């Protein structure tokens, strides 16, 4: 039996685990799922054949390394900050690694050692990043084979609420790690993209005021805000010389207008300023305070907007007499606690993934634009579109690694035909497929 170790059993792991269990008998796999509590792990494994659920402190070096030592391949579904720790353990133990997260500079720095150890560290293997890379590269490579000259690339992706479950004024519910949503745009590397030959560099405070509108037939209007550093993908995608290079995150209007106001009011700030430096004083600061009281105290004398719609959008959000949890120690954590309740995906709800690529190219003397789009609706509140589109690519590439189908070694992303073609083909069998059309 070959052992697959999954670290972390959060929302996006359910379909990943289902896929691996389904193939485990034929492939002779043992699937070990470790999470902070055994209950969380059992909830995902459902005690099925060839599975083992563990409760483990995965921040404990000894515990984590012992688990990794017994694996053939490790899948890290942990918070992105822990991937490098897991990667170093996998390198020491000579184990393959798969993550759905972006390749950090420090992870990239392991490439030579990983290659020399004959290992695959496959990163950016989920939805965004993941399916976005694979579908974009398949289309770009196809156009280049036909002799087309690529002049612009735009890609947009969002995890959203399905139309039939959209019943709040922000048109949004959580299907991904809520903390990542609250802190979007605050990561390392800055916000950079290329538009019509001009480089654009944005500060976090400018992010949600700089959106692009687009429309998808049958699904209405969307807005896209810039996603991290788009410029680094010029080299990754082989797009040197393009005039436009943009990667964005999709929301449904007027989400970004309201979120921009939260940013300007400093309510997405994750520092503990105003809460003092210790958890004790943080608890004293908010002890017995309602969300409504917290908001009033934070914006007193600071709110300068003249937009009545935005004012109502924000005040309605914080019009809540529930008490702020004592575990909150920053504005961002208070906001997260409020939104996890208001924007939760209820049992009968469904989510929706929307991904759109728009590629401008020159066909002889004629400029053209092609659009490739994916709209995928989740099955229910557990088997969400997000869980399906993150979990399936991770599971499929894990099977490919174990079966020796990936010859490349090192710290990788799925931009190569021998990786993206079989994965996209199998995803299409699950209904995850793109519609292509010529826009001009």
Tens-place pLDDT, residues 123-143 = 999 999 999 999 999 999 999
**Segments in 70-130 forming alpha helices (H):** 83-93, 105-108, 111-116
Selected residue with higher pLDDT from 289 and 103: 103
Average pLDDT of the chain, as a whole number: 92
Alpha-carbon dihedral angle through residues 304, 309, 310, 313, given to the nearest 10 degrees: 130
**Where does residue 99 rank: exposed (0-12), middle (13-18), buried (19+ CB within 10 A)?**
buried
User: In the beta sheet, which residues pair with residue 31?
Assistant: 4, 51
Average pLDDT over residues 251-260: 95
Phi, psi of 75 (to 5 degrees): -110, 120
Tens-place pLDDT, residues 307-322 = 889 889 999 999 999 9
User: In the beta sheet, which residues pair with residue 410?
Assistant: 120
Distance CA(344)–CA(349), nearest Å, equals 9
pLDDT score, position 399: 97
pLDDT score, position 280: 47
pLDDT score, position 277: 46
pLDDT of 430 > 90? The answer is yes
Average pLDDT over residues 171-188: 88
pLDDT score, position 283: 53
What residues have CB less than 8 Å from 22, skipping those under 6 apart? Answer: none
Class of the CATH domain delimited by 2-126+381-432: alpha beta
Structure tokens at 235: 């080299």
Selected residue with higher pLDDT from 381 and 69: 69
pLDDT band of residue 11 (cuts 50, 70, 90) is confident
Structure tokens at 20: 């691996």
Tens-place pLDDT, residues 31-81 = 999 999 999 899 999 999 999 999 989 999 999 999 999 999 999 999 888
User: In the beta sheet, which residues pair with residue 370?
Assistant: 359, 438
pLDDT score, position 275: 54
pLDDT of 258 > 90? The answer is yes
Distance CA(102)–CA(125), nearest Å, equals 9
Phi, psi of 79 (to 5 degrees): -55, 145
CB atoms closer than 10 angstroms to residue 300: 8
């Amino acid at each position: 039996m070959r052992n697959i170790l999954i670290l972390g059993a959060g929302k996006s792991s359910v379909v990943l685990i289902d896929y691996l269990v389904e193939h485990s008998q034929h492939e002779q796999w043992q699937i070990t799922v470790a999470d902070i509590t055994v209950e969380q792990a059992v909830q995902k494994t459902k005690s099925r054949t060839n599975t083992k659920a563990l409760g483990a402190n995965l921040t404990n070096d000894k515990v984590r390394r012992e688990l990794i030592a017994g694996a053939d391949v490790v899948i890290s579904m942990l918070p992105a900050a822990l991937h490098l720790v897991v990667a170093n353990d996998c390198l020491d133990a000579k184990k393959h690694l798969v993550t759905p997260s972006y390749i950090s500079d420090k992870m990239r720095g392991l490439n030579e050692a990983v290659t020399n150890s004959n290992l695959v560290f496959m990163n950016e293997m989920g939805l965004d990043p993941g399916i976005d890379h694979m579908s974009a590269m398949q289309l770009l490579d196809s156009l280049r084979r036909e002799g087309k000259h690529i002049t612009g690339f735009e890609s947009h992706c969002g995890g959203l609420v399905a139309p039939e479950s959209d019943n709040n004024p922000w048109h949004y519910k959580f299907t991904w790690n809520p903390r990542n949503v609250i802190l979007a745009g605050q990561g390392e590397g800055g916000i950079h993209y290329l538009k019509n030959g001009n480089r654009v560099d944005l500060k976090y405070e400018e992010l949600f005021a700089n959106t692009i509108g687009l429309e998808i037939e049958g699904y209405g209007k969307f807005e896209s805000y810039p996603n991290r550093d788009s410029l680094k993908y010029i080299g990754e995608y082989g797009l040197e010389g393009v005039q436009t290079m943009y990667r964005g995150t999709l929301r449904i209007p007027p989400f970004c207008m309201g979120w921009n106001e939260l940013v300007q009011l400093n309510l997405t700030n994750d520092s503990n300023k105003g809460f003092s430096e210790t958890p004790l004083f943080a608890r004293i600061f908010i002890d017995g305070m309602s969300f409504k009281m917290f908001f009033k105290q934070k914006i007193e004398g600071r709110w300068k907007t003249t937009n009545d719609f935005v004012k109502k959008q924000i005040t309605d959000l914080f019009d809540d007499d529930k008490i702020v949890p004592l575990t909150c120690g920053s504005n961002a954590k208070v906001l997260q606690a409020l939104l996890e309740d208001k924007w939760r995906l209820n049992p009968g709800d469904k989510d929706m993934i929307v991904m759109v690529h728009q590629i401008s190219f020159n066909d002889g003397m004629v400029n053209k634009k092609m659009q490739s789009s994916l709209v995928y609706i989740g099955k229910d509140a557990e088997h969400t579109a997000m869980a399906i589109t993150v979990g399936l690519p991770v599971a499929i590439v894990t099977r490919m690694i174990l079966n020796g189908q990936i010859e490349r070694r090192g710290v990788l992303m799925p931009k190569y035909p021998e990786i993206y073609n079989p994965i996209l083909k199998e995803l299409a069998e699950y209904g995850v497929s793109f519609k292509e059309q010529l826009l001009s």
